[in-house]
Amino acid sequence: MFHTNSLLTIEQIYNFLKESPDFMNYSQFDKLKVFFSELHDHEMGDFEANKPLKFTLNFDKSWLVIHAIAAPIFNNKELFLNWVCIRLNVAI
């Protein structure tokens, strides 16, 4: 079953973060932490980010644990968004 959040929403968050001052100077972990935190439904509980690259978030009323060791570099938009959509079960 696909989640209802659209690729457009995910892409808007990505674009917003990429344009934020100093964001591109963050480490891969910090970029992913901020990105997944923005996707997280904060009304459903706490977002968790643990090193090396493990994130626990609520996305579209489902709790997900994402192991991001093999995540593409955040700066590669197409690869990164495709990887995220697969993890979040969002139709591309």
The alpha carbons of the chain give a radius of gyration, in whole angstroms, of 12
d(CA 33, CA 74): 11
DSSP collapsed to 3 states, the chain: CCCCCCHHHHHHHHHHHHHCCCHHHCCHHHHHHHHHHHHCCHHHCCCEEECCCEEEEEECCEEEEEECCCCCCCCCHHHHHHHHHHHHCCCC
Task: Count up the domains in the chain and report the number.
Answer: 1
Structural domain contains residue 21:
yes
Judge whether 83 lies within some domain. yes
Specify the pTM.
Answer: 0.86
Q: Domain range for residue 59?
A: 7-88
1-54 tens-digit pLDDT: 445 557 888 999 999 999 999 999 999 999 999 999 999 888 888 999 998 899
Beta strands at 54-59 and 62-67: parallel, antiparallel or unpaired: antiparallel
| 2 located within any domain | no
